[in-house]
Amino acid sequence: MSSLDLPSPFSEIPLYPLQYLHPSPIHPLPHLSASATDAANAKDTTDVPNSSSHPRINIWCKREDHGSPLACSGNKYRKLEYIVPDILRPQEDGRKVTTLVTEGAIQSNHTVQVASVAAILGLKAVVLLHKGTGGGLRSTTNPEVFQQTGNVQVVRMLGAEVRMLEPDEAADDKDPVEPILQDLRVKGHVPYWIPSGASLHHLGGLGYARCAFEIAKQELEESQRGTLKGSGQFDYIFVSFGSGSTVAGLIAGFELLEKTREEERQSEDGKQFPKRQIIGIMSSPTKPKPYHEERVVRFARTAGGMIGLEPQNDISLDDVRLDDRFVGSAYGQLDPDTKAALNRVAQTDGLIGDPVYTGKTLRGLLHWVESGEIVRDWSARSGATVNSKELNVLFIHTGGQSALAAYSDA
């Protein structure tokens, strides 16, 4: 586990290392940066105040898909690092947990990472996969293959028991989970429930609060090397938004970072650069954006209260920026525009995304850059007083490539 200068009480929260000893890598995407900047330059920028030419947009990638040696490395391992100590703690009756139980859509990345953690802890795993969640199963031309390959195949390889739940089993008036937990208890197991994406778990936001400090450390290293120019930080951070605690953790972590370090990023003309802007690209059209914004504030405040913030004062709706324009017609359904974004990034910088989350995030990021939206937003937030020839954009790759095999007909 990489050494980070975390303030108290954050530094005292128990953590079980699941990541490599070094941070997940950050590297530039030079060809995508050049092509996206060229596309932005081709558009009219006269509506951008104080801008004689479009700044260069430097796109970088943080490889959370390279962050852990465990199966299908991705963003859930950061969350689970803070949950595992709670799993290993004796339960209220004094017994130890024997079985991890979690849920997700058919091609859930989260369930793979929970099953992997169960395997290394010597625990049983029960994975509940909802057939009615999203549009992946509905849109495929081969439902049998969709339910057997990709992440489903990996979960089974890891030794987990897979239970496919029909849509009527997860109806609004039914709780499919509690009967399963009760049945396990009757059979002598001690189950531990981890909600989908770990976001509803009270410890779910801590992993990405920690990641904020890791990113800041990597920013400083790149800035000192002269490879991260402009503000010397990532002005915009784009990340997939699903269950919510990845975005929420980042918000809480960067808020604590700025509060404890009193960071000041000065431009050449002495003006202060705006703080980092986290953009969550939504992956599902099921719930309206305001519902998710409130959820993020709640998760961020929960994490913030544990790491040393004053939740009600330090975190508000103003800190949350979600974009729902790229959700497509259904969660888990690979639409043509997202597929085009995945192919483009693969063919420019050799980066493979996933069909459920990162593909939509890449599509959203490219829209922000090429439409000039990112420059207009920067100008508005800086009060048109800061001139920057370069803006730095970070794409957080949360993993999920193992689901691609199930989408072979898309």
Per-residue pLDDT of the chain (410 residues; tens, 9 = 90+): 457 999 999 999 999 999 999 999 999 999 999 999 999 988 855 455 544 467 899 999 999 999 999 999 999 999 999 999 999 999 989 999 999 999 999 999 999 999 999 999 999 999 999 999 989 999 999 999 999 999 999 999 999 999 999 988 766 667 889 999 999 999 999 999 999 999 999 999 999 999 999 999 999 999 999 999 999 999 999 999 999 999 999 999 999 999 998 766 666 666 678 899 999 999 999 999 999 999 999 999 999 999 999 999 999 999 999 999 999 999 999 999 999 999 999 999 999 999 999 999 999 999 999 999 999 999 898 875 566 789 999 999 999 999 999 999 87
As given in the structure block, the two tokens for residue 269 are 């003309």
Q: Which domain holds residue 181?
A: 75-194
The reported pTM is 0.95
Neighbours of 38 (CB within 10 A): 12
Q: Which helix (H) or strand (E) holds 56?
A: strand 56-63
Has 223 been annotated as catalytic?
no
Tell me the CATH number at 92. 3.40.50.1100
Helices 336-349 and 30-41 meet at what angle, rounded to 10?
120
Last residue of a domain, one of 144, 164, 194: 194
Last residue of a domain, one of 169, 194, 219: 194
Q: Which helix (H) or strand (E) holds 238?
A: strand 236-241
Are residues 93 and 140 part of one domain? yes
Are residues 209 and 65 part of one domain? yes
Per-residue pLDDT at 307: 98
Half-sphere exposure of 345 (CA within 13 A, CB side): 26
Helices 206-225 and 245-261 meet at what angle, rounded to 10?
60
Q: If DSSP codes are grouped into helix, strand and coil, which group holds residue 409? A: coil
* Phi/psi of residue 248, nearest 5 degrees: -60, -40
CA distances from 158 to 94, 121, 182, 214, 256 (A): 28, 12, 24, 29, 37
Residue 189 lies in a domain: yes
Are residues 55 and 84 part of one domain? no
Task: Give the total number of structural domains in the chain.
Answer: 2
Catalytic residue among 35, 68, 73, 108, which?
A: 108
Question: Measuring CA to CA, which residue among 191, 171, 71 is closest to residue 130?
Answer: 171
Q: What is the dihedral of CA 329, 330, 331, 337, to 10 degrees?
A: -30
Are residues 219 and 155 part of one domain? no
> Are the C-beta atoms of 372 and 48 separated by less than 8 Å?
yes
> Are the C-beta atoms of 394 and 236 separated by less than 8 Å?
yes
Per-residue pLDDT at 172: 66
Contacts of 72 (CB under 8 A, 6+ apart): 109, 112, 113, 116, 151, 154, 399, 400, 401, 402
Per-residue pLDDT at 173: 65
Half-sphere exposure of 399 (CA within 13 A, CB side): 26
Last residue of a domain, one of 125, 160, 194: 194
